[in-house]
Structure formats: C-alpha cells, structure tokens
C-alpha cells in the first residue's frame, strides 16, 4: 500500500491509480480480515491463501506500525475515510506529526495505534495548520489544538 492509501500487487511494475485495487467490497474484506502476525507483518487469510499487506510511506518507523491510510476527510461530518468504506471520527487532539512532515491520527484497536493522513487529507488540513518554534498547531472549529510529534516507540 502506498502513502496515498492505494493497494497494489507487489509484482506490479507500474503503481498508478489504474493498477490499484479500488473495489470497496474487496478493500473492506481485506481490512476486515487483517491481523498482525507474531513476526510483525500484516496478513489476511482468504480462500486458502495468505495475503500480506505493508505500507510503503517512506518512513521506516511508520511502515512497521501503520497499516491504515486515511484517504479523505468529510468536513461536515468530521469523518476520516480509509480502505473501502472504513471510517473514523476526526479528533483534532489526536493529530500528530513526524519529522518527515507526515501527519498521523491516533487510531487504536485492531488496526494499530496510528493512521497516516494521505496527501489529499493533509492538503485539505494544510490551511488550518501553523508551524513555528513551539511546534505545530491546528485551528479547528474556533479552537487551536497543539499537534505534538508522534512517538512510534511509545505505543
């Protein structure tokens, strides 16, 4: 899976929108069956096969822990979407950033502690973010929320 949330076969030469899996039913089944194995890899059993899923975000610490990429944010309902029809409520206080500049939202539960905000979501939030000597802050619904750095080792 790439940093935008697109799922590709590992053997695909060209990883484009055209080669990504987009069927919501397939993606929902894939994520519903995902489990973290003892060796740390994410796997899903289907029809006698074991399918492995990994994130390739370019940040090694995140790739070891993160499997959800939020692909959109509905500002009206404050809902982050991922996979086929997966969703989580957007909570500004649960937003974090890493030294590479990527934004993460606390997730918790079976799919791990963090979800990466894909480029479209990060871009949509960029006009609400400020960065300064004291760190980052998000202006949201009339309030300002500190955006601390993510600590992948603490979870």
What three-state secondary structure class fits 25? helix
**Whole-angstrom distance, CA of residue 114 vs CA of residue 107:** 5
**pLDDT tens for each residue of 2-30:** 878 888 777 666 666 666 778 899 899 98
The dihedrals phi and psi of 120, each to the nearest 5 degrees, come to -60, -35
State the average pLDDT over residues 65-78: 95
Query: Which tokens in the block code for residue 93?
Result: 């206080």
Question: pTM value?
Answer: 0.88
H helix runs in 16-155, sequence order: 24-33, 60-65, 119-126
Decide if 125 contacts 138 (C-beta within 8 A). Answer: yes
DSSP single-letter state for residue 92: G
Whether residue 154 is predicted with pLDDT greater than 80 in this model: the reply is no
**pLDDT tens for each residue of 90-139:** 999 999 998 888 999 999 889 999 999 999 999 999 999 998 887 899 99
Task: Say how many C-beta atoms besides its own lie within 10 A of residue 63's C-beta.
Answer: 17
Query: Which tokens in the block code for residue 37?
Result: 């194995």
Closest residue by Cα to residue 52 from 71, 67, 69, 62: 67
Q: Are strands 114-117 and 68-74 parallel, antiparallel or unpaired?
A: parallel
Q: Which residue has the higher pLDDT, 22 or 86?
A: 86
Grade residue 144 by pLDDT with cuts at 50, 70 and 90: very high
Q: Please report, for the chain, the start and end positions of each structural domain, with discontinuous segments joined by +.
A: 17-147
């Amino acid at each position: 899976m790439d940093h935008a949330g697109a799922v590709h076969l590992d053997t695909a030469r060209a990883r484009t929108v055209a080669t990504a899996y987009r069927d919501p039913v397939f993606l929902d089944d894939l994520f519903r069956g995902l489990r973290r194995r003892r060796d740390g890899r994410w796997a899903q059993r289907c029809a006698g096969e074991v399918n492995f899923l990994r994130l390739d975000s370019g940040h090694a610490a995140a790739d070891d822990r993160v499997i959800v990429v939020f692909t959109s944010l509905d500002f009206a309902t404050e809902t982050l979407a991922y996979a086929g029809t997966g969703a989580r409520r957007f909570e500004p206080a649960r937003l974090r950033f890493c030294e590479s500049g990527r934004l993460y939202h606390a997730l918790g539960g079976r799919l791990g502690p963090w979800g990466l905000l894909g480029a479209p979501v990060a871009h949509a939030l960029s006009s609400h973010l400020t960065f300064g000597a004291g760190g980052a802050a998000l202006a949201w619904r009339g309030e300002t929320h500190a955006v601390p750095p993510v600590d992948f080792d603490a979870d």
